[in-house]
Amino acid sequence: MAEAISEAAVRERETLAELRSPSGREQEPFDWDPEELAERWAARHAEWRRVQALMQASGWDTYKPEQDTEGTLWAQEREVRRAGFLARHAAHREQATDGLRADILLSARAGRLVRALAARAGLTPDQIVAQIAENAVLSEEGTVSVPSFIPR
């Protein structure tokens, strides 16, 4: 336990020092974000200290995860967040293969109208634009219209 805490403390100091120093080194495309890495090591350091304090207070020689209610709750919350992220990622990938993702620039008037419609319907502007596109109809003459619909 002491080794893990010591290593986390060293890594926390190193990542914070790297974050503060103007290294001039260009970050590789797949490098860790230095701020995120520093935050992760700070969190690990804090968690190892929490576990050590729990073990000392409980008189444990070894860590017993099943008896660590706080750690178990955090692990469950982490797993729920992870599962949610994976579900959103899968949905996004599915949409990307079937749908179209576009960045559009609207005029100020059109942007205000879309934001007002979205606020009124309790949706995001992206959702309103997507629903308008889903309901659009192309006539034989080539005109585009959107029949009345209730945003969902």
Beta-carbon contacts of 63 under 8 Å, excluding residues fewer than 6 positions away, are 1, 51, 55
| pLDDT of res. 19 | 76
* DSSP-assigned letter for residue 138: E
What is the chain's pLDDT, residue by residue, as a tens digit (152 residues)? 888 888 888 988 888 888 777 654 555 554 567 788 888 889 989 999 999 999 999 999 998 888 999 988 888 998 999 999 999 888 877 766 667 778 888 999 999 999 999 999 999 999 999 999 999 999 999 999 999 999 98
| pLDDT of res. 32 | 62
| pLDDT of res. 16 | 82
| pLDDT of res. 31 | 58
**Residue ranges of the domains in the chain?**
1-66, 68-100, 108-145
What is the pTM assigned to this prediction?
0.47
| pLDDT of res. 15 | 84
| pLDDT of res. 14 | 87
**How far apart, in whole angstroms, are the C-alpha atoms of residue 102 and residue 77?**
33
Candidates 125, 121, 111, 116; CA nearest to 149 is 121
